[in-house]
Amino acid sequence: MMYRRQKKQYVFASLLGAIAVINLLFFFILHRPAYSEYFNLRDSIARMRSEVAARQLSVRRLEKRSTELDRFEQDRRELFMTRFVPRKSGFAQLLPELEMMGQRAGVYNIRKDYLPEMIPQYGLISVRIKIPVQGGYNNVVNFIRKLETSKTFFLINAIDVRSSTESTPAGVTGGIGLLLDLETFFYQ
């Protein structure tokens, strides 16, 4: 009876051992895919974190650009109102301003020819102005300086220099004459 009991115990122990070996084999068989899946997930998480960081940087950049665009429209409006002349009061404001600049600079000016461009670009209408001025060299230089530092935006496209000894007003010595081709803009 003892022998039988011992035999049952050995059979039971060997059955438990076989089950343990089978479990150990299943562990090794299933461990490898789980192990590789773990590393794949870890790499995927690291990649996702870097993508999130890149997207956050992109979002910050786009938010900054959005605020710059908002500021751009405000700056554009401010530029139009401070440096350009409104179309409604355009020539009524512009011609006296040019006349006053000429008087302050001490140059003689008899007429102003202007030609507005009727096709607006970017909300602005280009106006070409031709101004013949005469006076002393320093006075003409002062007039050009006043154009450059004027509150109103003027582009000097061309300067045609002429000697004006015969057409200079009385009392002006060493006079020169210029034909200035200017451009300014009216906004609508």
Q: Could you give the 3-state DSSP secondary structure of residue 166? A: coil
Q: Is the pLDDT of residue 1 over 70?
A: no
Q: Is the pLDDT of residue 105 over 70?
A: yes
pLDDT at 60: 94
Calpha distance 131→112 (Å, rounded): 5
Which band of pLDDT confidence, cut at 50, 70 and 90, is reported for residue 147?
confident
pLDDT in tens, 151-180: 888 888 888 887 655 454 555 556 788 888
pLDDT at 187: 76
Q: What is the mean pLDDT of residues 139-146?
A: 88
Close Cβ partners of 131 (under 8 Å, ≥ 6 residues apart) = 98, 109, 112, 113, 179, 180, 182
Calpha distance 119→123 (Å, rounded): 10
**pTM score, whole prediction:** 0.54
The C-alpha angle 44, 46, 50, rounded to 5 degrees, equals: 115
Q: Could you give the 3-state DSSP secondary structure of residue 154? A: coil
pLDDT at 118: 67
pLDDT at 185: 81
Region of residue 135 (left: phi > 0; alpha: psi -120 to 50; beta: else): left
Q: Is the pLDDT of residue 54 over 80?
A: yes
Q: Is the pLDDT of residue 20 over 60?
A: yes
Close Cβ partners of 126 (under 8 Å, ≥ 6 residues apart) = 116, 117, 183, 184, 185
Which band of pLDDT confidence, cut at 50, 70 and 90, is reported for residue 17?
very high
CA gyration radius, the chain: 44
Q: 85-86 and 175-187: which strand pairing?
A: parallel
pLDDT at 119: 66
Calpha distance 84→180 (Å, rounded): 19
Q: Is the pLDDT of residue 57 over 90?
A: yes
pLDDT at 165: 54
pLDDT at 53: 94
pLDDT at 131: 87
